[in-house]
Structure 1
Amino acid sequence: MAAIKYHLIKKDSKTKARLGILETPHGIIETPVFMPVGTQATVKSMTPEELKEIGATIILSNTYHLYLRPGHKIIEKAGGLHKFMNWDRAILTDSGGFQVFSLNSLRKITEDGVEFRSHIDGSRHFFTPEKVIEIQNALGSDIMMSFDECAPYPADYDYVKKSMELTIKWAERGKRAHKNTEKQALFGIVQGGTYEDLRKECAQRLVDMDFPGYSIGGLSVGEPKNVMYDIVNLTTEYLPEDKPRYLMGVGSPDDLIEGVIRGVDMFDCVLPTRIARNGTVFTSKGKLIVRDAPYAEDFSPLDEECDCYTCRNYSRAYIRHLFKANEILAARLATLHNLYFLIKLMGKIREAIRQDRLLEFKKEFFKKYYRNKEEY
């Protein structure tokens, strides 16, 4: 039996948006879905109970970071990542590829894998496609990623072509090494930079390998938004309808809506938690920098339309005070709000697809969110 099963429930008539259900060993996920990021086996400042309360059904954790600290063998001894962090819903782990390739001067790529130095203590390590599968098998995530090379932007055609070929070879090797297919689903990752022919070729070759799901990687790395949207639109054309599609590292409200319109089912991003810790929150009327001076005597909630715990109980003035005083509660309240905002947004997107009015919803949402802009 396969580890996951995707059911396509409804397609939007005017866009490529899909309403679906993803069955996993740790629960059912309604898609499209946003996945909060718990890099080091924790969504920064949130408890698993709080994540459940705000409606999170799946979170993401990071292979590279957990391999370096505390080590995948320790997590395996604990009974896997779910037990280790006390989270009984679904977990997706990335391959560590993005982190390793972000190290730049600290890494060396060969056909066999990547040699890199730890960002923690400078120690040497070697990731192969097989090693990355071994680590994720030990972590016990519901959904795993193939090891891929994430090409930088911009990069010339020949480099990206070689990088894509390597990603495909590594996907083949990872698929061969993955034995726990009944409990863990391995996704293939489509690379190819901003070159349409390479994206098409990569998608088609990965589809031929018959993965249970497909990720779109190598985007949101500095390319213009319209280019990203075009590549996503092109890539989903070549992905099967009966498998989930995951756009990696993308999670601003506008990107979520635009991604869904182009046929994406799953998203993750550190953005909501990272900006929350810096005092920036999402609201229905756009982003708000709550630590700024104008909010010192503003006793309204972060967002009048939000019913999260933070907005029901605290004012902008109080949260600004917490940030100014460097209190830990500031990050907790802002993080909870931002994650709730995006999870709630995905619920509204699903409802709009159900009612076949996603484009109308997009227009209404953007009109408020970008209220100072002429176009949306």
Structure 2
Amino acid sequence: MKFITDSVSRCARLGSLSELEKFPEAIFETPLLVLYTRRGSVPHLTKDVFKMLTDEQHMLSVSLPTTLTMVEAVKQSDSFSEFVGMKEYPTILTIQDSSEVSPHGHQKHITTAIWTKHGHHPVSPDIYMDIVEAFKPDIYVGLCDGDSNEKTNEKKIMKVVDRSKRQFEKCLERHKSSEILKKTCLLGAVEGGYDLRAREVSANFLREKNLEGYVIDGLHVNGPEVQNISFETIKEVVQHTLALLPPEKLKVSMGSWSPHVILELIDSGVDVFDSSYPYVMTENFKALTFMCDSHNHGDDYKTELAISVADKCYVDDFSPICNECQCLTCRNHSRAYLNHLHNTKELLCSVLLMIHNTHVYLEFFKAIRENIKNGKFKEFKHRFLNQFS
């Protein structure tokens, strides 16, 4: 993998990911939205419907909690992507599921606890690297213990950092000796919770490994509550962590961050995110509306990020979610119909919401890249934060 950026300063920047072994012609512009999947599929969407949503080539995020029970079956195929019928899409393998809370505890010695429907599974570096060699992702995160958040005490944080260092050493050793993974990109996860000194220990350790990029990890334990974390809460630790890392390298942050935090993280120099936020909104029967107009309102104009199609006020509302939206849902269906689908517990409600919410988020990232390109990102961010405060 090759990452090129137009700026090595720690600010909003354009870049490109290219030269993936299985996709030598593919170029992904950053800031990049990686599409969140469960068991290799975008939730609620069949492959045919997904292709109706977007005809562009996107990178897919694959997590261990949703795929761990599939490992033996995947070994019968050439790769995970081929097994799930998505071989035309590059994948990035992550440790935890961004949309589900990762339970605390059960990390022992050099293993990380991966929780599935059947309980927790201790995954060691050797087991993990066996999975990576079976899945053959295009990019993967080294095994780490990200079990920390704002409330984690110093003693546990140092254990997290130490365990993650030992895990990464073993992963890197296997990576270098593996013929299968010799052209696969390995990312290092910077741990340390909200302890700046621990962050320095983790970042300095990884910086010596000459990696292609880094994941800013350990800020949360995943799940829907991540959308409620303000940038002020994470600002100091994020900016301190980024300052410790080589500015020309790729920076990744996973989690269902709110659009406000996404903008601030991009402005701090983070390049890649996942789309678990649209999925979390869909699961709560909410339709994103923050891209419904061009944000040309005055500074006094305030509105909401989303509407709830469960609200009774939409029972007779025959307008689309967004008049200007060109997604399949808005072109063909009304708020009243979505309200009806919710009330009758039809699965189609989640399908239509997922189509719309994913489309909105893809357009959001296109707008971000366009505004950075035009030198107007600061103005775009200011209008957005003011309008949706």
TM bracket (short chain): 0.7 to 0.9
**Cα displacement string for residues 51-73 of structure 1 (whole angstroms, at most 9, x for unaligned residues):** 454346111111233122x2x13
Q: Distance in 1 between matches of 2:286 and 2:97?
A: 29
Residue 4 of structure 2 corresponds to residue 18 of structure 1: no
Note closer, same or farther for the CA distance 1:97–1:108 as it changes in structure 2 (3 Å cut).
Answer: farther
Superposition pairs for residues 155-234 of structure 1, below 5 Å? 155-178=152-175, 179=178, 180-221=180-221, 225-234=231-240
Which letter does structure 2 place at the counterpart of 1:35? Answer: V
Which letter does structure 2 place at the counterpart of 1:22? Answer: L
Which letter does structure 1 place at the counterpart of 2:333? Answer: Y
Retained in 1: the 8 A contact 2:148–2:219?
no
Note closer, same or farther for the CA distance 1:108–1:247 as it changes in structure 2 (3 Å cut).
Answer: closer
Q: Distance in 2 between matches of 1:98 and 1:22?
A: 22
Q: Distance in 2 between matches of 1:318 and 1:33?
A: 33
SS at match of 1:227: helix
Aligned to 1:37: 36
SS at match of 1:18: coil
Aligned to 2:265: 259
Superposition RMSD in Å:
2.4
Q: Distance in 2 between matches of 1:151 and 1:181?
A: 27
Q: Which stretches in structure 2 are left out of the alignment for 5+ residues?
A: 291-302
**Cα displacement string for residues 222-254 of structure 1 (whole angstroms, at most 9, x for unaligned residues):** 665312232222212122233211002144211
Query: Normalising by structure 1, what TM-score?
Result: 0.88
Retained in 2: the 8 A contact 1:245–1:264?
yes
Which letter does structure 1 place at the counterpart of 2:215? Answer: S
Q: Distance in 2 between matches of 1:360 and 1:225?
A: 18
Retained in 2: the 8 A contact 1:37–1:61?
yes
Residue 349 of structure 2 corresponds to residue 351 of structure 1: no
Q: Distance in 2 between matches of 1:229 and 1:115?
A: 28
Aligned to 2:286: 280
Note closer, same or farther for the CA distance 1:97–1:114 as it changes in structure 2 (3 Å cut).
Answer: farther
SS at match of 1:36: strand
Q: Distance in 2 between matches of 1:254 and 1:147?
A: 29
Aligned to 1:95: 95
Note closer, same or farther for the CA distance 1:45–1:100 as it changes in structure 2 (3 Å cut).
Answer: closer
Q: Distance in 2 between matches of 1:128 and 1:260?
A: 33
Q: Which stretches in structure 1 are left out of the alignment for 5+ residues?
A: none
Q: Distance in 2 between matches of 1:256 and 1:152?
A: 20
Q: Distance in 2 between matches of 1:210 and 1:94?
A: 20
Aligned to 2:68: 67
Counterpart pick for 2:111 among 99, 103, 113: 113
